[in-house]
Structure 1
Amino acid sequence: MKENVQIEKAVTPMLLPFDPDDFWQRVRLIIREEVTNAEKSRPALPIYETPGLTYKPLFKLAEVCKLFQVTKPTIYEWIRRGRLKRYKIESRVFFLWNDIQQLLQPEQDSKD
């Protein structure tokens, strides 16, 4: 006695007025937009992670320009005048944090 049992597909009621494929496409789009916005708003982290360092010891030319809000020719002029010392490592130019700190300090007249 074998009965022929036919299983019917259960129909899930729709709670949203979207086609399921359209719904999932919209969800993916929203997630993609949110991830992109989160990546844009995230501050850039330094490339290095060295325990114990409280400051970045070397700065690139572009970083010094950004720090002082000046152009590269201005930095080159400061180098030429002796206000800032550059350090070349192969073809790259770096600046020491201590030198940058000195340049940031207001000049004090020594009147005794």
Structure 2
Amino acid sequence: MQDNVNKGSTAAPMLFPYEPAQFWQSVRQIVREKVQQAEKVRSVAPTYETPGLTYKPLFKIAEVCSMFQVCRQTIYDWIKDGRLKPYKIKSRVYFLWNDIQQLLKPEDERRGCPGD
């Protein structure tokens, strides 16, 4: 390498003591190890599923909006009218699945009066 530099060739001096193929092989190996470590951490993360639970008990306001395809103001109106009851947990507002199920029923069934 020194001979090429002294003869005026355009080859750049080597800045690190690895051949390019060896360098890229080490980089690939490091990346593989990091990916494997990340996968282990992700698989160890706890699951918050409850065995036997067949429905989601609480819904956020955004979920209720998308479920009924309405805006937030409509949800606030339903709360004001008493059609939907909010439950506050810390600083967040949730709605019970049972209350949402009641809203999904026809209005006659909600009142307890069968339709004619």
Q: Give distance in 2, aligned partners of 1:75 and 1:103.
A: 11
Q: CA deviation at 1:64?
A: 0.3
Q: Give distance in 1, aligned partners of 2:102 and 2:56.
A: 15
Q: Give distance in 1, aligned partners of 2:48 and 2:73.
A: 28
Question: Residue 91 of structure 1 corresponds to which residue in structure 2?
Answer: 91
Percent identity (aligned): 72
Q: Give distance in 1, aligned partners of 2:69 and 2:48.
A: 23
- SS of the equivalent of 1:80 reads helix
1:4-27: CA deviation from partner (whole Å, max 9, x where unpaired) = xxxxxxxxxxxxxxxxxxxxxxxx
What TM-score, normalized by structure 1, do the two folds share? 0.54
Question: Residue 69 of structure 2 corresponds to which residue in structure 1?
Answer: 69
What TM-score, normalized by structure 2, do the two folds share? 0.53
Which protein has the bigger helix share?
A: 2
Larger RCO: 1 or 2 (CA < 8 Å, sep 6+): 1
Q: Give distance in 2, aligned partners of 1:102 and 1:53.
A: 19
Matches within 5 A, 1:9-88: 48-88=48-88
Deviating beyond 4 angstroms after TM superposition, the runs of 4 or more aligned structure 1 residues are none
Aligned residues: 66
Unpaired runs of 5+ residues, structure 2, are: 1-46
The letter of the residue matching 2:75 is: I
Q: CA deviation at 1:50?
A: 1.5
1:59-107: CA deviation from partner (whole Å, max 9, x where unpaired) = 0000000000000011001000101000001110000000000000001
Question: Residue 106 of structure 2 corresponds to which residue in structure 1?
Answer: 106
- RMSD of the alignment, in Å? 1.9
- SS of the equivalent of 2:51 reads coil
Q: Give distance in 2, aligned partners of 1:106 and 1:99.
A: 13
Unpaired runs of 5+ residues, structure 1, are: 1-46
- SS of the equivalent of 1:108 reads helix
